[in-house]
Structure 1
Amino acid sequence: MNGRIAVLGHLKDQAAAALIEDGKLVDFLIDMPGEGLRPGAICRAICERPIKGQGGIFLRLPNNGKAYLKQAKGYAPGQILLVQVTGFGEDGKATPVTPKVLFKSKYAIVTPGAPGLNISRSIKDDDLRDELMVIAHEEMEGSDAGLILRSACVGADSEEIAEDVAAMRAMADQVMADADGTEAELLIDGPDAHHLAWREWDAASVATDDEAFENNQVYDLLEAFTYARAPLSGGGHIYVEPTRALVAVDVNTGGDMSLAAGLKANLAMIKELPRQLRIRGLGGQITLDLAPMPKKDRKMFEHSLRATLRKDTIDTVLAGWTPLGCFELQRKRERLALRDLLPNGIF
């Protein structure tokens, strides 16, 4: 199995998508069960109870759901607020939301309240940037909203890009016109796994037939991520073990007893860590219990970790070293944990 293929199917009656590159699972998406709001959903919410001393406020979502808004200065109980779901709340906690709504598609992001026409910095070709700016001006003329053209525009048909921008602008105009209602209401649902795969993944081919998961060995590839142990290049391995408070990642050198074994295992862990966290759906506080290495190698470790995480699609903050020599990260909760979605395994 060579190349990069997106496989769309269902797992446990939920829409799911797998991204496979040269036979290796590099990403996996699955819908949450039930009727909860997906990340990206936009709705009217009602302000309820401010949290003194923390600057936040609880909101009431549609169907009596609960949300929490940070930095809520100026909002009062009973006020109607347009918000967008930004991630999944921890078990038993409110859903995180933001008042800064975005309308995001494969090629375009429309930003109400943030005017300006922008093109992804990763697009370097001057001729293409000029062509895209013409499209942006034509499709956003007369709008107070801003626009960001994404890196996926490279190689895309100009008419398709223009249609995408027009569709996002129309959606933004419709939702913003409905913002002044009097009840909590879902206005736009967040993308399901199949839509999100289309929007975010760049794949040479797509498999959507009824036997797509089985024909592309998705079940076998995914099963490895239901276990705590994961191999590393060079013979080492890690244990990825989520708890309620944090996710612990233990790095082991395996059979390598050389002086540089610890550094080699830690660097190998860096290459594998984003994939493991992404597919397992893990976020929040991440504590790395590293293999022993000299303190003089810490700067090299941090530089490599920062460069690798910069390429990841999920925001992760480097918090730093602990007194016991562990390294801590804070990762956005964009997905539900795979172990919670599949508590009894894949089948």
Structure 2
Amino acid sequence: MIINVHENFVSGAILEDGELQEVFDEENETIAGNLYVGVIQKIIPALNAAFVDIGEGKNGFLRISDVGKSYVQQVLSGKQPAEGSKLLVQVKHDAVGQKGPQLTCKLSLPGRYVVYFPMSRVRGVSKKIVEQRERERLRSLFSKLEKNEGLVIRTASEGMPMEIIEEELQSLRQEWQQILSSFKRSRRVKLLRREPTAIDYVLRERLNKNVDEVYVNEEKAYELVKQEVKKISKSIVVHFVEGDLFERFSIYQQLNLLQRRTIDLPSGGYLALDTTEAMTVFDVNSASFTGGKNHAELAFRINMEAAKEIARQLRLRNIGGIVVVDFIGMPNKEYYDRLFKKIRESFEKDPAHVELLGFTRLGLFEMTRKRRTPSSEQLLFSPCPICKGSGRVLSATIVLKRLSNALKEIDLSQYGSVKINLHQRFSGYMEKIKALVPAHREKVKVSFTHPDPNEFEITLSKKT
């Protein structure tokens, strides 16, 4: 784990065998998890939903089915929600594109060891805790809950003393009472609880027994990490190293690779990645990898490499929604069973909820991955102002045809000089450009400083 503090901004990263797995940044604008006093602006019965002002620009979207009886009784004092009334809401997902943030009234307060639900009877223990005796030990905590309280015990609770977990639960209960009291006193839109800073988030959500080493470059953060590590495992080594750790561990270089549509695989194959608003598609290709083996073994080896890399890319890019993978076809079920096992193993360390649905009749692999925050692409990059994020510009032939039509509409004999300015990519088309006006070649001057590869500029000067 890397915790990099630069000019009071905190960035974090997780590396495994030198490869970047996740990245966090305090500058990333996320409101997921925040609790607000919101005001209902409009209820849409046809959608069974409401639009709620939470003071963050776009109104949030709330499904009325999220407002349960317990919520109405405890929070709204028995009154049903109506337009103009206030609600205590939590951001479930950040705004994406033109869509506002998704809100919920099924409130939760996450801690390191548990997630506390103040108005829900949910009970659960992390599926990643597999030992039955440990699961039963942790389940004993449910007997200490009130009738309308809920609790999910997180993976970090495994092996921890029960008094430490109970102490955190009590702290979350007290925080909830403070939030509820503040909500009842408030008369306008207001932020009640903000998710922790980047360093607190990284330490709470990602610092666990799977981490072997932590590198920190700032003294206060170093002391904070050492305190947290004492609670988790004595085997985690904490290093203090001055300087930019993202530079030292080549994280910037790995982040630059996120702009690429293709991802190389170790044996010479590659992944092609395409994303839409609702779906992500991976296409597995063999490329130059031949390996000298039969087709079945060749396809299987590339697919196994692809499974591991797809899990890394989804986690690193923080991609959510429906994911479809077109693996290379293989001849029998045994290969697909072994591949499915590899896929499942590859997602074991992904903190997001992942559901593996399996292979379709067409041989496509389907899965879903849930996330609450924007993808790394949305946070790290901006759409190109020229291509608007499509990755395409008009062909040179089309632009030159438009230029030819524009020149034909001008009586060039009336002008002393004609200046044509094009994008730099047309610098190899000088002869073709002058050939567009064969009778006036001498008076045409061409430059290549235009900023837009889809456009051109014609400047005419009168005869002297």
Distance 1:306 1:334, change over 3 A: same
Map of 1:7 onto structure 2: 2
Q: What is the alpha-carbon root mean square deviation over aligned residues? A: 3.6
Aligned equivalents of 1:44, 1:230: Cα separation in 2: 44
**CA distance in structure 2 between the partners assigned to 1:72 and 1:99 by the alignment:** 9
User: 1:154 matched to which residue of 2?
Assistant: 158
- CA 174–226 in structure 1, closer or farther in 2 if over 3 Å, else same: same
Per chain length, whose mean CA-contact separation is higher, i.e. which structure has more relative contact order (CA < 8 Å, sep 6+)?
1
Who is 2:178 aligned against?
Answer: 174
1:259 aligns with 2:269: no
AA aligned to 1:255 is S
Matches for 1:285-324 after TM superposition, within 5 Å: 285-294=322-331, 296=333, 301=339, 305=343, 308-309=346-347, 312-318=350-356
- 1:41 aligned residue: 34
- TM-superposed CA distance for 1:276, in Å, is 0.4
Letter in 1 for 2:192: L
Matched-pair contact (CA < 8 Å) for 1:32–1:341: no
Is the contact made by 1:38 and 1:191 (CA closer than 8 Å) also made in structure 2? no
Identify if the C-alpha distance between structure 1 residues 70 and 264 changes in structure 2 by more than 3 Å, giving closer, same or farther: farther
Q: Encode CA deviations 1:4-44: one digit per residue, 9 max, x unaligned.
A: xx11125898532101223222222224545xx52211122
Corresponding residue to 2:17 among 22, 25, 35: 22
- Residue pair 1:108, 1:168 contacting (<8 A) in 2 also: no
- Pick closer, same or farther for the CA change 1:172–1:205 going to 2, 3 Å: farther
Match of 1:268 among 305, 308, 315: 305
Residues 99-121 of structure 1 deviation map (CA, whole Å, 9 limit, x = unaligned): 11111111122111124775545
TM-score in terms of structure 2 length: 0.61
Distance in 2 (CA, whole Å) between partners of 1:151 and 1:342 is 30
- Contact 1:115/1:144, CA 8 A, preserved across alignment: yes
1:306/1:89 CA distance change after superposition, 3 Å = farther
User: What TM-score comes out, normalization by structure 1 length?
Assistant: 0.79
CA shift in 2, pair 1:239/1:152, >3 Å: same
Change (3 A) 1:339 1:167: same
Distance 1:142 1:315 in 2: 27
Query: 1:59 touches 1:67 (CA, 8 Å); kept in 2?
Result: yes
Structure 1 residue 188, shift from structure 2 partner: 0.7
Q: Deviations over 1:281-329 (max 9, x none)?
A: 2223333233233485656655654565465321234567678654444
User: Aligned residues: percent identity?
Assistant: 24
For residues 85-164 of structure 1, what are the structure 2 equivalents within 5 Å? Answer: 85-115=91-121, 119-120=125-126, 122=129, 124=131, 126=133, 130=137, 145-156=149-160, 160-164=164-168
208, 211, 220: which one aligns with 2:253: 220
Structure 1 Cα separation of the partners of residues 277 and 347 of structure 2: 23
Give a deviation string over 1:197-249, Cα, whole Å, max 9, x none. 11122223322215232333332343333322223344322122334453332
The 1:254/1:82 distance shift into structure 2, 3 A limit, reads same
Matched, 1:183 2:188: yes
* Native 8 Å contact 1:123 1:154 kept in 2: no
Do the aligned residues in 2 keep the contact of 1:123 with 1:151 (CA within 8 Å)? Answer: no
The correspondence of residues 67-78 of structure 1 with structure 2, limited to 5 A, is: 67-70=60-63, 72=65, 75-78=81-84
**Which one is further off, 25-34 or 140-149?**
140-149
